[in-house]
Amino acid sequence: MPVFNAMETIVVNMFDEFQKKYELKCDCNKCKDDMLALVLNKIPSRYTSSEKGTLFVKGLYINPQLQSDVMRELMEAANIVADHQHHEV
Ligand SMILES: [Zn+2]
């Protein structure tokens, strides 16, 4: 695909930051994927062509409003996943 959703890159990067600040109930890949999916469903997609991709992502990433939106959604997603954990250990 010549286009991709810039928000995917941003949400994945911000998840790493998020994880350093907040202790997650479970930090396995399954719960992480669930959280990322929840956030990406709520945040509007920002598609860009792969050629302009890196600059476009950087431009979005320095937007403080967008950063706080993503952080807020990550926090919400972490609570939802913690309450609906769908695996045993
Ligand atoms: Zn888990």
> Rounded to the nearest whole angstrom, what is the distance from the C-alpha of residue 8 to the centroid of ligand 1?
20
Do residues 40 and 74 lie in contact, with contact meaning Cβ atoms separated by under 8 Å? no
Task: Write down the pLDDT at residue 43.
Answer: 95
> Rounded to the nearest whole angstrom, what is the distance from the C-alpha of residue 89 to the centroid of ligand 1?
7
> Rounded to the nearest whole angstrom, what is the distance from the C-alpha of residue 29 to the centroid of ligand 1?
7
3-class secondary-structure state, position 45: coil
**Whole-number Å distance between alpha carbons of 33 and 39:** 10
pLDDT of residue 85 exceeding 90: no
pLDDT of residue 88 exceeding 80: no
Do residues 57 and 10 lie in contact, with contact meaning Cβ atoms separated by under 8 Å? yes
In the chain, the percentage of residues whose pLDDT exceeds 70 is 97
Lookup: tokens for 53: 């991709």
Residue 51 gets which letter from DSSP? Answer: T
**Whole-number Å distance between alpha carbons of 33 and 82:** 13
> Rounded to the nearest whole angstrom, what is the distance from the C-alpha of residue 34 to the centroid of ligand 1?
9
